Structure 1
Amino acid sequence: MKKAKKLMFQGTSSHVGKSILTTAFCRILAQDGYKTAPFKAQNMALNSYVTPSGGEIGRSTVAQAEAAGAEPIVQMNPVLLKPTGNSCSQVIILGTSRGNYSASEYQNQYSQKAWASVKESIEYMESHYDVMVIEGAGSPAEVNLKKNDIVNMRVAKECNASVFLIADIDRGGALASIVGTLELLDEDERALVKGLVINKFRGDIKLLEPALTFLKERTGIPVLGVIPYLNKLGIDDEDSVSLQEIPDDHVMRDIHIAVIQTPKISNFTDFDALNHEPDVNVRFVQKGDLLGNSDLIIIPGSKNTTEDLLYLKREGYAKEICELAEQGTPVIGVCGGYQMLGEKVSDPDHVESQNDEVDGLGLLPYTTVMQGVKNTYQVHFDCDDLPFLDMQFKGSDLKGYEIHMGETTLNKPAQTLFHITSRSSKDVDVNDGYINEKHNVFGTYCHGVFDNDELRRAIINALRKRKGLSELPIQFRYREYKESEYDRLADSVRKYFDMDTVYEILRNE
């Protein structure tokens, strides 16, 4: 059986653009008629997603699969590490949680067990696709981590991938980082590097040409692309570090939404669609920031609900949120945020932390108990009556996904929000979420609620009406927007990459 061809993007450090360029080539190769799929052996991120089969993988890999027009599967990201705090991570293998491990436990013991799942996934991917676009992690030249590497050069050697080494010129030191990285690689590893890439370039390319010549002469490897700084790409990222890069255009819009950026925030892409609405400002509130006069407060998902709840209390946000909610300010909690809105969060088996029990915000009448079994589903749900701010929204076949380890139980009657009709393609009859009697506070386990255009606009219009503003029709279609952004990214990279050489490399594999 003919095996898939492989291109691999590695970086001189973290956050140099590996994910974005992998996404770009997934789109380019798919546009050119190849059955293409992304692959990242091991990912460390709190931003995750659920595949149709119910497995959990990194969100950036899902974006790459979308760009390739491929259904996301667990083999695309066989190992996912979700930090829980104190140098500890939840280890997810082929979409299923295998428990929490310290950094030393994982590196010295479990990573090599995980390698078997990586090899199994490579074999599967090789036989089901024409081209694999592989993403590394961090740098391949970290000598202290190389022994237990299962994501960079070990993967490249396992499948004989052609490697492109990326450096971020925007942060400075790009030439030194490229030369230094190559110097630290073994000879057989350097032989796999077929091209160099300068990313996030700003300025006159003519001024850079002497540097490009130097790199070719010094390393013997050509620079195949000088990619300009691409601004405001609407593509999911893997790391909350990217929240620090959201540009502030200083345009004051009608609606102001504050998202509490807790230390263990997860699935921050839940709010991307809101951020692209032309009448909405989304602000991520970090430690020391004021909530201010926000039209809506959102408490996001969390990888460690009790620790983030204690953070809200310690920093004074819990008291302020409760006072504002009592005064009528709308508050929404998603997943971990939904759990925090209740009266109590218990973790008797220390599934997420060492905290036995923490009092919640008390804005909704339920208790959550953490359990060892993780719920991961893609869901379809209906909404017969969402009276948030008395807007009474009705909708059917809405889409989202669940990722949580807690079970929430009412302490007294409350109105439910959504009716889940399908979990991972299986028919179910499950109610999700609750809203308070004043109709200004609600919570849900469903991630991706705001990705539904009609529901998102209904919530924004309810906020507009509360301020005496006129309602607006749907302003933008989120999924259409994402598809156009994949195309824009692909067009930009094609323009600045030596595609003829890339296809020659593929032909010679």
Structure 2
Amino acid sequence: MAKALPIMFQGTNSDVGKSVLVTAFCRIFVQDGHKTAPFKSQNMALNSYITVNGKEIGRAQGVQAEAAGIQATTDMNPILIKPNSLNESQIVVHGKPYKNMEAGIYRKEFFLTGLELIQESLAILSENYERIVIEGAGSPAEINLNDRELVNMRVARMANAPVILIGDIEKGGVFASLVGTLQLMEPEDRDRVIGVIINKFRGDVRLLESGLTWLEEYTGKPVLGVIPYMKNLNIDAEDSVILNQYTAIPNPEKELDIAVIQYPRISNFTDVDPFFAESDCHVRFITKAEQLQNPDLVILPGSKNTSEDMLFLRKSGLAPKIVELRQKKQSVIVGICGGYQMLGEEIQDPFAMESQHQAMEGLHLLPIQTTITKEKTTVLSDGMLELYGKSFSVTGYEIHMGETEVDGGCKGLIETKGRTDGCKTADEKIIGTYFHGIFHNDEFRGELLNQIRHTKGLAPIQQRVSFNQLREESFDRLADHVRGHVKLDLIEQKMKEFQKRRIMQ
């Protein structure tokens, strides 16, 4: 692994901005002429990304590959962990389900296998790229887990990568978290840290300067940057923890109210990201029945455990509220993947692939029956979507373990490669599909929103945003923002000095 020059980003805890900074540096290095790839050895996430050959990896690594201008491969995320209950997760190895395992068993039985997978992927990336930008997970100071961890300092040692430690000042206690994390590292690992970055800063940086001076003197590590908080990034989030920042309250200043049902095992919620970029839309995430009210559009997103999340809808009182909205025939209701399955009559899980519920009653809003199967479908899809008397060319991706049959009285939604995907009612108020990314299709999304506007007596918006163009602009905007607030020359110098020092040792 001598070809590529690696750099690793670790954090004092989860949600400090590791994924975003890796995305930024992938773009920065490419802008500076280096063929660059992202890497995360082991990702625990329910937001997935489908590679061009139909394999499943963490969404963050797919997005980072896009920022680097390359196609994502499973070598960029060889191990994906998808929790499907409190104690058990589906282990995805090189894009395909390996087996369901409990955490303790995974640590005990998978460790050596994981090491081998990581070594192989790092070797492949190192042979094919000039830079590897590596993302850690959680914190490297989880001393109770470090003996068998597969994602932080052990990976840094395997890749011979210097480490930049990130602290999130927005959470408070950033100096304590940075100092504490460094002190809990083994000396060899602490020596690997070439500096720290303070992320999500708000305010006057001059008020921080005395603290930065103290931090450098106390730890001996340079502060490589203080990055101000960046709004409206339009880059996919990796973890559902970000949903905590969104409101459940309607915004009267926005003309269209969009309610997204946030069940406990929500997955691929980035499907709704394009609505955040629309000037007339307010997106809210709903967990309680009383929050639902009377939205114009209700979205039931994907789920890692459809039966359990369907049970949540019933126990929370959301299920009858959604049915009540259908009876009023005012709201458009769209179900995607697991949300599509919930709109039907019943979800059967005869092999207990997702839960112990062999049969779970759905919302009875579409005449469909779903059976959870042993084989997972992971594929990039395209087709022609028929809605509102118009045809739309759409692309998306599918990740599901269920097969859904339409019982009748329901028209298909998308014609794709000799089969029909999805289902819609005659009045086109209830729509279901397996296509993730369906709202990323600008023409379809615009027509959907304008149809809703028409029912409310509002004039259509003729020129809406191009979300894919917006994403590309966001990558550049993010790179410019980070470039302007880090000491990039010093980072480059320390990366190269670290490699020279390691070679001399």
Structure 1 length normalisation: TM-score? Answer: 0.95
Taking the TM superposition and a 5 Å limit, the aligned residue runs for 1:47-446 are 47-246=47-246, 250=251, 252-287=253-288, 289-328=290-329, 329-383=331-385, 385-386=386-387, 391-396=388-393, 398-421=394-417, 429-446=418-435
Taking a change above 3 Å as real, the CA distance of residues 109 and 287 of structure 1, as seen in their structure-2 partners, is farther
Per-residue CA shift, 1:416-471, capped at 9, x if unaligned?
010123xxxxxxx2210011123211100000000000000010011111111122
Classify the secondary structure of the residue corresponding to 1:271.
helix
Per-residue CA shift, 1:302-340, capped at 9, x if unaligned?
000000111111111111211211221321100000001
Per-residue CA shift, 1:20-49, capped at 9, x if unaligned?
111110111111111111111111111111
Taking a change above 3 Å as real, the CA distance of residues 203 and 337 of structure 1, as seen in their structure-2 partners, is same
Per-residue CA shift, 1:168-220, capped at 9, x if unaligned?
11111111111111111111111110111111112222221221122222111
Matches of 1:479 and 1:410, distance apart in 2: 32
Q: What letter is aligned with 1:431? A: T
Matches of 1:275 and 1:207, distance apart in 2: 33
Instruction: After TM superposition, give the deviation of residue 300 of structure 1 in Å.
Output: 0.8
Detail structure 1 runs of 4+ shifted over 6 Å in the superposition. none
Per-residue CA shift, 1:62-86, capped at 9, x if unaligned?
1111111111111111111111112
Matches of 1:142 and 1:448, distance apart in 2: 35
Q: Which residue of 1 aligns with 2:468?
A: 479
Classify the secondary structure of the residue corresponding to 1:236.
coil
Contact persistence 2:164–2:193 (CA under 8 A)? yes
Number of aligned residues = 496
Taking a change above 3 Å as real, the CA distance of residues 93 and 289 of structure 1, as seen in their structure-2 partners, is farther
User: Which range moves more in the overlay, 10-19 or 321-330?
Assistant: 321-330
Structure 2 length normalisation: TM-score? Answer: 0.96
Matches of 2:206 and 2:406, distance apart in 1: 66
Per-residue CA shift, 1:331-367, capped at 9, x if unaligned?
1100000001111000010000111101111111111
Pick from 430, 445, 454 the counterpart of residue 443 of structure 2.
Answer: 454
Instruction: After TM superposition, give the deviation of residue 229 of structure 1 in Å.
Output: 1.3
Q: Which residue of 1 aligns with 2:502?
A: none
Matches of 1:455 and 1:412, distance apart in 2: 25
Q: What letter is aligned with 1:273? A: P
Contact persistence 1:454–1:474 (CA under 8 A)? no
Classify the secondary structure of the residue corresponding to 2:110.
helix
User: Which range moves more in the overlay, 162-171 or 283-292?
Assistant: 283-292
Contact persistence 2:289–2:318 (CA under 8 A)? no
Classify the secondary structure of the residue corresponding to 1:212.
helix
Matches of 2:390 and 2:265, distance apart in 1: 31
Contact persistence 2:11–2:140 (CA under 8 A)? yes
Find out whether 1:502 has 2:491 as its counterpart. yes
Q: What letter is aligned with 1:299? A: L
Q: What letter is aligned with 2:176? A: A
Report the RMSD for the aligned CA atoms in angstroms: 1.5
Gaps of 5+ in 2: 500-505
Contact persistence 2:251–2:282 (CA under 8 A)? no
Q: What letter is aligned with 2:411? A: Q
Instruction: After TM superposition, give the deviation of residue 373 of structure 1 in Å.
Output: 0.3
Matches of 1:91 and 1:481, distance apart in 2: 33
- Aligned identity (percent) is 47
Per-residue CA shift, 1:458-509, capped at 9, x if unaligned?
1001111111112221310101111111111111111110111122134343
Taking a change above 3 Å as real, the CA distance of residues 67 and 442 of structure 1, as seen in their structure-2 partners, is same
Gaps of 5+ in 1: 422-428
Instruction: After TM superposition, give the deviation of residue 288 of structure 1 in Å.
Output: 5.0
Matches of 1:208 and 1:60, distance apart in 2: 31
